[in-house]
Structure 1
């Protein structure tokens, strides 16, 4: 308490902090970055293991036979023949196939609209069938889902997924060991259908729910989303990251991985094809591959985008992932993976999930995969992240202490507190105005015409320029106080964001912390210009645009390419806004409500007199 009340000790603390704050900041940041890169090494990672012993993975004898495989191939040929037919007719044929197997089949009707055309309400229609558990009374269930896509889709075709589901339904329907219902779900209209069904199943009232579901099963324990084009695929791609970087329980990932290994099926994580190659014996090559794998996962989580319909199940605490089948030869030739091995692996997954006595809870929910067999736990990556944020706190305290020690020694503690309050009151309007610009930019999206996006960006830039012009009338002391408050706000915000989406907070901290801490207007003209350029590069929208157009930058001198880059940039901003309205991607509100006000505040203090 003496440090907080004794003016002499306050001056001593201020002098000590003022003399060493920059060195402490550099040391903390460098150690934090080095620590993060060390975590990729096998000496710091953990080998994947099962925490839930009730799963008993791979201990059952598979019963899926060649007859079931022939049925899957027959259904696949039927779906391929119908690929040019209307989607409604294809859906009715799928519904009849489930009914012929004797399953309980239900329709799901819903409404939806797109952000570009919010006034145009469209109708959707999904189908789902349920294999009732013979050893329980519909208390729990497992979902196997697949999207129904037209032949001209730009995504992976899914006729193989639906054929595989029908074969599994044929095989599962007469088994007496099921203690959980098995739901086979076929949705249309891409993610709109899956989102509407999950919301309706959990009783969520939204604009998409047109009518309640008449057919229900038990509480969903896990979900597997399939995107298999045909029985001729070369390898599988596991997509585990959901919306806003949410991850399934690691036990589910380990279960799927183990059973795929058991059937000898090659697979990758998030499309990183280098994982198909043998593990390098050279330490440097292995480290670089693990680093790339980790970065792939960090990037996918930070962007928060939907990479499969499994993301909607994760929002309701249902552990889920997507299995994609990839044809590396463009669909020509015979792949290494057929329906039989895929079905045997899915049968093993369902039977292991059938053994669960309670929800997934024992293994990790927060982790980073460095390879299919190793991961970094939350307890390992949190301390270095704290060191990355520490320079913000150190510099904020140093700026505050510098202003406090600038008063005359005759000032007593009471006048010192009064002066501090006056300084905060003087910069409070600037703090409020910066956040008003961020809130106005975000709320304007609710009334935004996507064709007027460049004009909307121009309006934001004019608002920012107005604040920058006004900041020229700010005194040096007020600028230091404002920067101190903004650094504290950034530190608190990044700590909070790391609890929601750690990869996003990590990427922001890696690039924003050094710029926020070490850029200053107390520099010669050349250095000041460099600092100003760094701040401009970290304008919150710019990194989002850069992540989509960076591969075009080497040819940007060409006018045609430059025009393409501009269109790609505006489309990336439109996509970020659309993703927020369609399925709640947090990247948009984080950008406009958190990062933009902080950027404006830092830009204002940089240009203050």
Structure 2
């Protein structure tokens, strides 16, 4: 009876790497070695060894042999190794190691390199450097295409007959379209030479076989070098099977077919011709002195006249799915996903994975206009500062009375808005004051907002920010160039006030807590908030851009501010409180991780954060450091930014809304960083599917009866019937219990938050023990049921995190890494193992992580929970939902599995 497909492929796949011949191994090792050498910064390996047309000369001819070993990055090297290895291994097995060495360090590399340099430099007049082994790949593909064409001239798709030699050409164009930064001309040069070599036009350049034999004999290469393929070991085709043009193998007694070349073999090959081709399984072993003709005739007789049988192929595929060896792969694949996802994240600050920022919206024209704020405006600013300083310590109403009189004196329409929020037992009430400067050249359909909160997020009085906004309002009033209304918003705080005003502006407010706005303008196009607390002159400006729930403003707005402040005004620009950024890898990584942490928490970081959920791009500007810049310089930055926003004909949409900034002029877009979180989330889905398949395997598989005939198919292995009631009940209970901490920590008073947290910490430790003990006593769960509990919980976790990654990448990545141990926990019969696993899981539980974070940052747990409650009620932050309703139920189900003591029970078996 023919074996299934796994009998052939599994064994060969396991030993494939160990059978690679010598030159192929050397090429792979050289590629990896050059990549490792390129990690250092002393010598630029890419610049030294790449094929650069302008650098070619007598002293740099070595580049024609070094460029295939040098790659842009690790992924470039891995893809080329995977593509090159089977082609190079086949070529070496057919021509010998010494021939490969001579050809690939000779004509097969030099000719395509010279062809590329000639075309690129003298025909197209360019100087595009190329590197990588993909030129070898297309060269070998061209040779294989010619060989395939001689055996099978065409293949049929529908009613069309397509020549087989065109396959590499299609691959050439597909690579040029799908693979970024690929060299079409370089690949084409390798393909042309490959076609020529396959047709025999460069055969005269091959080294004579007599000389190669003489070198091998003198140096005894076969005896000294492992995995060496000598001239006498050449196979001229894999395992001596000669192709035929009609696709049918004939073994007529009158035709004696034999292997081309010597019959000497140092190894014994086993060839499987299995059910995929409809024939019988034959072992063809060629030993020293074996008769090649007789062995090949036996093989051809066994395969004669057979046709492809799809039912047998499908049966083999299904058998592969049930092969128990397949179930050994998912845990390692899951671990690989986590490791690759984490490493991917740490590669992002490198130049190869990040990009320089640029302005996508041409209408912005940042820094292209002359700013006039200054001169006599400085005297006005001083007067306003005295007025503001006299208001420090007074009530919100008294402050607004004075400020409203000043704004009305400027000729602007003013209005007030009351709001009241209740969170953590506190009442956050206040009154917003705002004014509208109607655009002389507009029709009140669009507006820009200038915000200044009386207190910033650190509850410091904005002593310079308020006077600067009033001075700018007076200055803007004198200009007739505005095509958009300018709204001046003065709020009592930086979180609740702006949130209430923006909600009411878009009619999305709760009228019982937030009053409606008496007057409005048009659609908001952007907002700039000023947080100017320090008294002395400043050196640089800090841009705060993080929004609620990890949302970000359009990158063009940040780039415009950077261009105006850093380029036009000569200021330093900082992000994420990185005051001294040297644009090296450590500072880039810290900036990126700080941004990810803030976005993962989802809290409002300034007055601008409330605007971003309504698709209003906004940032907060904070001066810092000691330098020679004063309030007038900050005012000119705001003026330049407003002038750029005033140029817009439509809302900002050209640039990115999903990105990670690591320097003021360097970022990573979503297409580059998203795979890291997706890989981490995918590990949970992989383990969930693995556990589902494992739960369907019975403890003891009944012995199958021996078929009467070898033509009958292998009986399908039995499948254990899954008991889903208890696993679904445990997972549902875990999800239902998550509503308790979500409600409690968002609705109790501030004074009760800390005691309740420590009480919950104790309950959190005892709850898994209680669920596990109760279920063991009442239901006696089996190992299958524990597998299903873990499978369902991981499936939900992976599904939620993969969806969340597209909305809040940082939060999904953070929770995914903290939940990674859940993929590998399992019930154990050893009490010590259960205790250790439970303790380790408790160290990564949501309460434990919160407690550790408070200790690291030197904060009070009660303060953190209060801020989370305020964010829940005021700004609508959903981080608490993700923590308590996604992460915590998965952790609880994982602890139940760790503490489980599965009963020895014979699984129910049913036929699949």
TM-score by length of 1: 0.87
Gaps of at least 5 residues in structure 2 are: 1-309, 705-714, 902-912
Residues 579 and 85 (structure 1), Cα distance of their counterparts in 2 relative to 1, 3 Å cut: closer
Q: Secondary structure at the match of 1:66?
A: coil
Measured in 1, the distance between the counterparts of 2:591 and 2:829 equals 40
2:541 matches 1:236: yes
The 5 A counterparts of 1:358-373 are 358-373=650-665
The 5 A counterparts of 1:98-137 are 98-117=407-426, 123-137=429-443
Q: Secondary structure at the match of 1:300?
A: helix
Residues 67 and 8 (structure 1), Cα distance of their counterparts in 2 relative to 1, 3 Å cut: closer
- The equivalent residue for 1:176 is 480
Alignment match of 2:552 (pick from 247, 254, 279): 247
Is the Cα–Cα contact under 8 Å of residues 248 and 365 in structure 1 kept in the other structure?
Answer: yes
Measured in 2, the distance between the counterparts of 1:2 and 1:96 equals 88
Residue 497 of structure 1 and its aligned partner are, at CA, apart by 1.4
2:797 matches 1:490: yes
Gaps of at least 5 residues in structure 1 are: 280-285, 329-333, 553-564
Is the Cα–Cα contact under 8 Å of residues 156 and 227 in structure 1 kept in the other structure?
Answer: no
Measured in 2, the distance between the counterparts of 1:2 and 1:214 equals 75
Q: Secondary structure at the match of 2:372?
A: coil
Corresponding pairs, count: 572
Q: Secondary structure at the match of 1:102?
A: coil
Measured in 1, the distance between the counterparts of 2:451 and 2:465 equals 8
2:842 matches 1:533: no
- Structure 1 window deviating more from structure 2 (42-51 vs 210-219): it is 210-219
Q: Deviations over 1:256-296 (max 9, x none)?
A: 11111021222321212232xx44xxxxxx11111111111
Alignment match of 1:23 (pick from 332, 352, 356): 332
2:744 matches 1:438: no
Measured in 1, the distance between the counterparts of 2:882 and 2:454 equals 33
- The equivalent residue for 2:759 is 458
Residue 506 of structure 1 and its aligned partner are, at CA, apart by 0.7
- The equivalent residue for 2:604 is 306
Q: Deviations over 1:9-56 (max 9, x none)?
A: 256444242132233223332222222211110111010001111101
Residue 7 of structure 1 and its aligned partner are, at CA, apart by 9.6
Is the Cα–Cα contact under 8 Å of residues 746 and 869 in structure 2 kept in the other structure?
Answer: no
Alignment match of 1:521 (pick from 803, 821, 827): 827
Is the Cα–Cα contact under 8 Å of residues 111 and 207 in structure 1 kept in the other structure?
Answer: no
Is the Cα–Cα contact under 8 Å of residues 819 and 844 in structure 2 kept in the other structure?
Answer: yes
Residue 410 of structure 1 and its aligned partner are, at CA, apart by 7.5
Residues 22 and 164 (structure 1), Cα distance of their counterparts in 2 relative to 1, 3 Å cut: same
2:518 matches 1:222: no
Q: Deviations over 1:449-496 (max 9, x none)?
A: 443343465364354442232244422110011111222111111101
Measured in 2, the distance between the counterparts of 1:85 and 1:606 equals 59
Measured in 1, the distance between the counterparts of 2:732 and 2:536 equals 59
2:370 matches 1:61: yes
2:458 matches 1:159: no
- Structure 1 window deviating more from structure 2 (391-400 vs 583-592): it is 391-400
- The equivalent residue for 1:331 is none
- The equivalent residue for 2:200 is none
Residue 193 of structure 1 and its aligned partner are, at CA, apart by 1.6
- The equivalent residue for 1:561 is none
- The equivalent residue for 2:505 is 201
Q: Deviations over 1:480-517 (max 9, x none)?
A: 1111122211111110111221101111112312x012
- The equivalent residue for 2:110 is none
The 5 A counterparts of 1:2-151 are 9-10=318-319, 12-117=321-426, 123-149=429-455
- The equivalent residue for 1:560 is none
> Please, what is the CA RMSD of the aligned residues?
2.8
Measured in 2, the distance between the counterparts of 1:176 and 1:8 equals 75
Is the Cα–Cα contact under 8 Å of residues 243 and 312 in structure 1 kept in the other structure?
Answer: yes
2:618 matches 1:320: yes
Residue 367 of structure 1 and its aligned partner are, at CA, apart by 0.5
- The equivalent residue for 2:578 is 272
Q: Deviations over 1:363-386 (max 9, x none)?
A: 100000111110010000122322
Is the Cα–Cα contact under 8 Å of residues 367 and 564 in structure 2 kept in the other structure?
Answer: yes
Measured in 1, the distance between the counterparts of 2:454 and 2:366 equals 30
- Structure 1 window deviating more from structure 2 (23-32 vs 219-228): it is 23-32
Q: Secondary structure at the match of 1:521?
A: coil
Residues 231 and 260 (structure 1), Cα distance of their counterparts in 2 relative to 1, 3 Å cut: farther
Residues 204 and 393 (structure 1), Cα distance of their counterparts in 2 relative to 1, 3 Å cut: closer
Residue 221 of structure 1 and its aligned partner are, at CA, apart by 0.6
Is the Cα–Cα contact under 8 Å of residues 695 and 785 in structure 2 kept in the other structure?
Answer: no
Residue 526 of structure 1 and its aligned partner are, at CA, apart by 6.1
Residues 155 and 455 (structure 1), Cα distance of their counterparts in 2 relative to 1, 3 Å cut: closer
Is the Cα–Cα contact under 8 Å of residues 425 and 747 in structure 2 kept in the other structure?
Answer: no
Measured in 1, the distance between the counterparts of 2:873 and 2:420 equals 15
- Structure 1 window deviating more from structure 2 (296-305 vs 525-534): it is 525-534
Q: Secondary structure at the match of 2:580?
A: helix
Is the Cα–Cα contact under 8 Å of residues 546 and 569 in structure 1 kept in the other structure?
Answer: no
- The equivalent residue for 1:558 is none
Measured in 2, the distance between the counterparts of 1:527 and 1:520 equals 10
Measured in 2, the distance between the counterparts of 1:191 and 1:172 equals 26
TM-score by length of 2: 0.59
Is the Cα–Cα contact under 8 Å of residues 105 and 127 in structure 1 kept in the other structure?
Answer: yes
Is the Cα–Cα contact under 8 Å of residues 423 and 869 in structure 2 kept in the other structure?
Answer: no
Residues 70 and 14 (structure 1), Cα distance of their counterparts in 2 relative to 1, 3 Å cut: farther
- Structure 1 window deviating more from structure 2 (53-62 vs 527-536): it is 527-536
Q: Secondary structure at the match of 1:307?
A: coil
2:775 matches 1:467: no
Measured in 2, the distance between the counterparts of 1:155 and 1:521 equals 50
